[in-house]
Amino acid sequence: MPPSNQAAWMSTKKTRPFKITNAPYTPPGPNQVVIKNTAVAINPFDWVLQFIGPILASYLSYPCILGTDVAGYVVEVGKDVKRFKIGDRVFGSAAGIDKNVNNAAEGGFQLYTVMREYMISSTPSHITDEQACVLGLGVGTAAYGLFHPKYLGLEMPSITSETESVEQGKRVVIVTGGSSSVGSNAIQLAVLAGYRVISTSSPKNFEYVKKLGASHVFDYNSQMIVRDMLDVLDGFQLVGAYVIGKGAVEICTEVMMRHDAKSTRKRIALAGAIIPAEQLVSCWGQVSFVISMVGDLIKSSIRQRRTGIEAKFIMLDDLVDSESVVAQVYQNYLPSALEARRFVPAPPPQVVGHGLEKIQEALEIQRLGVSGRKLVVTL
């Protein structure tokens, strides 16, 4: 007799709030496991899809189950699974809303989720499920932009060496928005791959971002930020910029143009700007959002022709590929790095409440803005 499953369903293209009702329990296929979710984390993309899902993810079929960041324990394993057994505590990225998957059984906002073996890692005993579930999409997006050859193409983290090479130690990557979910993970992954990181945040988060490994942190509102970045880059090679936040592309473009051209790789990986919630809650706001997206693409093309600097928005096209850089991080790096405490779940979790019915409440809080924390619901 299969377990009784429930989910927070998005029954139509703009369902809000979610409908909490029964969901099928789906057994795992080859190289898959089923986990009982004990904690799920909220990403901005979740509430955005409730308002403009047809614009950003027209491929989604309804009813669907959103949610990417999960943690829990394995209750069933499929054929050929070698890394996990029943009872193992795990966390990872649910793939239900991926364009190549589009499958409610793999959505995160439910009690039991089908997970791909290579998109999960073991949870060490010193990390709670509430802490572990914050990693998911943040780790995936960070790894994709940093290491995929289409974007910054940096060298992957080493799982054997404790120290950086001399050559890597002279290389610097800029990561803006260092206190955000993606920024927190990008800083750690870049540092543990042997690169120096300079970052930006609000002053209240300076110490937090430095603890993650950034050597220098600047106020993103500072009028002197370009000059200050150039000062600390003197004598180092700038290997690219991973940007999050409004105006970050322009700042990094100016830094790249003014830094020693011979030692600068002119690549910017764009993880997205902050989307004002009020812009997406009305029809006119949604239209203006689409217009601004098109405008940004045009400006990016003009900028590249004028400066030679390539700024590309990160598209997770092959995220569920078992050989992707994200799968490599989950399988080959995160387990040992977390166990050795060389990588920490970040940002810290803020638990909104318990139960599927609390997920909508968490999305509403996220929509209003959260800084230096990631919202979590326990199940």
C-beta of residue 241 within 8 angstroms of C-beta of residue 197:
no
Identify the pLDDT of residue 165: 47
pLDDT at 185 over 60: yes
Query: What phi, psi does 305 have (nearest 5°)?
Result: -65, -35
Question: Of 29-43, 144-158, 282-296, which one has max mean pLDDT?
Answer: 29-43
Identify the pLDDT of residue 370: 83
pLDDT at 46 over 60: yes
Lowest mean pLDDT among 130-134, 301-305, 320-324: 301-305
Q: Which CATH superfamily is domain 141-313 in?
A: NAD(P)-binding Rossmann-like Domain (3.40.50.720)
Q: Which residue has the higher pLDDT, 170 or 113?
A: 113
Q: Which residue has the higher pLDDT, 66 or 275?
A: 66
Q: In angstroms, rounded to a whole number, what is the distance separating the alpha carbons of residues 13 and 62?
A: 7
Q: CATH says 5-134+348-378 is which class?
A: alpha beta
How is residue 349 written in tokens? 């979790």
Mean pLDDT calculated for residue range 168-192: 91
- The string of pLDDT tens digits covering residues 90-145 is 999 999 999 899 999 999 999 999 999 999 999 999 999 999 999 999 999 999 99
User: Does pTM top 0.85 for this prediction?
Assistant: yes
Identify the pLDDT of residue 134: 97
Q: Which residue has the higher pLDDT, 18 or 160?
A: 18
pLDDT at 262 over 90: no
As a 3-state breakdown, the chain gives helix, strand, coil percent values, each rounded to 5, of 35, 25, 40
Q: In angstroms, rounded to a whole number, what is the distance separating the alpha carbons of residues 270 and 242?
A: 6
Identify the pLDDT of residue 283: 59
How is residue 256 written in tokens? 């790249």
- In 202-348, DSSP assigns E strands to 216-219, 237-243, 267-270, 310-313
Q: In angstroms, rounded to a whole number, what is the distance separating the alpha carbons of residues 72 and 49?
A: 25
Q: Which amino acid is it at 213?
A: G
- In the chain, DSSP assigns E strands to 5-9, 19-23, 32-41, 69-77, 89-93, 112-116, 120-122, 171-175, 196-201, 216-219, 237-243, 267-270, 310-313, 349-354, 374-378
Give the residue among 375, 291, 378 at the shortest CA–CA distance from 42.
375
pLDDT at 320 over 90: no
Identify the pLDDT of residue 261: 61
Q: Which residue has the higher pLDDT, 170 or 30?
A: 30
With bands split at pLDDT 50, 70 and 90, how would you rate the model's confidence at 288? low
Antiparallel, parallel or unpaired: β 196-201 and 171-175:
parallel
CB neighbours of 17 closer than 8 A, spacing ≥ 6? 360
CB neighbours of 297 closer than 8 A, spacing ≥ 6? none
Q: Where are the domains of the chain?
A: 5-134+348-378, 141-313
How is residue 75 written in tokens? 């209750």
Rama region for 99: left / alpha / beta (φ>0; ψ in -120 to 50; rest): alpha
Q: In angstroms, rounded to a whole number, what is the distance separating the alpha carbons of residues 110 and 71?
A: 12
With bands split at pLDDT 50, 70 and 90, how would you rate the model's confidence at 58? confident
CB neighbours of 101 closer than 8 A, spacing ≥ 6? 95, 320
Q: Which residue has the higher pLDDT, 49 or 74?
A: 74
Q: In angstroms, rounded to a whole number, what is the distance separating the alpha carbons of residues 236 and 196?
A: 9
pLDDT at 12 over 90: no
Q: Please give the mean pLDDT across all residues of the chain.
A: 88
